Amino acid sequence: MSSTPSGVLKEDEESNQGMKRSSGCLKGHDSQTATLLKETPLENLRLASQAVLERAQKQGRSSCPRCKSSRMFYCYTCYIPVETVPTGEIPVVKLPLKIDIIKHPNETDGKSTAVHAKLLAPDSVTIYTYPCIPDYEDTRHEIALIFPGPNSVAVNDIPRSLQKKCQGQVSCDEEDESLTEPALKNARLEPGTDSNLDAADWHSGGKTGPLSKIVFIDSTWNQTKKIITDERLQGLLQIELKSRKTCFWRHQKGKPDTYLSTIEAIYYFLVDYHKEVLKEKYDGQYDNLLFFFAFMYRLIKTAKSSVGKE
């Protein structure tokens, strides 16, 4: 991209002092840009054409069709694209499960990448503002929460952990019976044993996988710690993601670079789930979840390098 990313910089003035300083002295450095692109971990994604974003960026801010606020690319309060970004030109990503995102009320909407998920997979993603969150009581045997706690398990451990949890719950509820007939109980709970807990079972049952829903918390680390103690989230299986470095340009000060933005966490979870739990070949099916993220990353990286920030 050779043009100056003025639109994004304008957007950024609201929330990023560093970028604000860099506006006004931007130049295109194509060779430098090319080198940088090679280094980015986002370069091999299978993304839909971003021509629509390039056009919108050149036009600058536009109105939200619903609340009429002036925004770049999308409205972060209505979760819809602005007028210069027709919905039909944005990719739609099909997900193997539903996603709930719990947002802390103090989280600045414009800074969050959670809305990317809602824009790109509108039928599968729901954003809740804490403390207005659902009660997961009845469905907790097929729901998990992304949180790196002392009891969290890896993605490839989801099937086994869910089954263990399920059995544990039953034996607590009906202790006598389970003590005397553990084998029978086991058989009644799941039509199989650990050894055949594989993709074939879920497909035959008409389900896509062992999880119907995954919950993410979209907030700073300190706010997350508070939300995680909410009684409605107790008893949910907690999942810890593999360590990966963030590409987020607003990553939290004082936090390690393995602290992912919400859209990165969602993306990496889905890739691992697809490969390690659904046991299917990953062919870029969820890459378009990074449609906005990769575009904005590239603009900001280019802008920063042009002014010698990096």
> DSSP strand E in 42-187: where?
62-63, 70-71, 74-75, 80-81, 98-103, 125-129, 143-146
78 scored as a contact of Zn ion (CB under 5 A): yes
Q: How far, CA to CA in Å, does 293 sit from each of 14, 20, 28, 112, 127?
A: 18, 19, 21, 11, 18
Binding residues for Zn ion, total number by CB under 5 A: 5
DSSP-derived pairing of the beta strands 125-129 and 98-103: parallel
Measured from the CB atom, is 67 or 187 closer to Zn ion? 67
Decide: 160 and 194 in contact? Cβ < 8 Å.
yes
* Shortest Å distance, C-beta 80 to Zn ion: 7
Angle of helix 262-272 versus helix 291-306 axis, rounded to 10:
130
Contact with Zn ion (CB under 5 A) among 75, 127, 211, 260? 75
Closest to 160 (Cα-Cα) out of 144, 173, 137? 144
| CA separation for the pair 4, 33 (Å, rounded) | 12
Nearest to 239 by CA among 273, 209, 278: 273
67 binds Zn ion (CB under 5 A): yes
* Partners of 128 in beta bridges: 102
Q: To the nearest whole angstrom, how small is the minimum distance from the Cβ of residue 14 to Zn ion? A: 15
Is the CB of 77 or the CB of 208 nearer to Zn ion?
A: 77
Q: Nearest distance from residue 210's CB to Zn ion, in Å? A: 37
Distances (CA, A) of 247 to 57, 83, 150: 21, 28, 26
Closer CB to Zn ion, 6 or 63, in the complex? 63
Rounded to a whole number of angstroms, the minimum distance from the CB of residue 69 to Zn ion is: 5
42 scored as a contact of Zn ion (CB under 5 A): no
Which one of the spans 54-62, 72-80, 93-101, 292-300 is the region binding Zn ion (CB under 5 A)? 72-80
- Shortest distance, position 4 Cβ to Zn ion, whole Å: 26
> Measured from the CB atom, is 70 or 234 closer to Zn ion?
70
Interface stretch with Zn ion, choices 39-47, 61-69, 191-199, 214-222 (CB under 5 A): 61-69
Nearer to Zn ion, 109 or 240 (CB): 109
Interface ranges with Zn ion (CB under 5 A): 64, 66-67, 75, 78
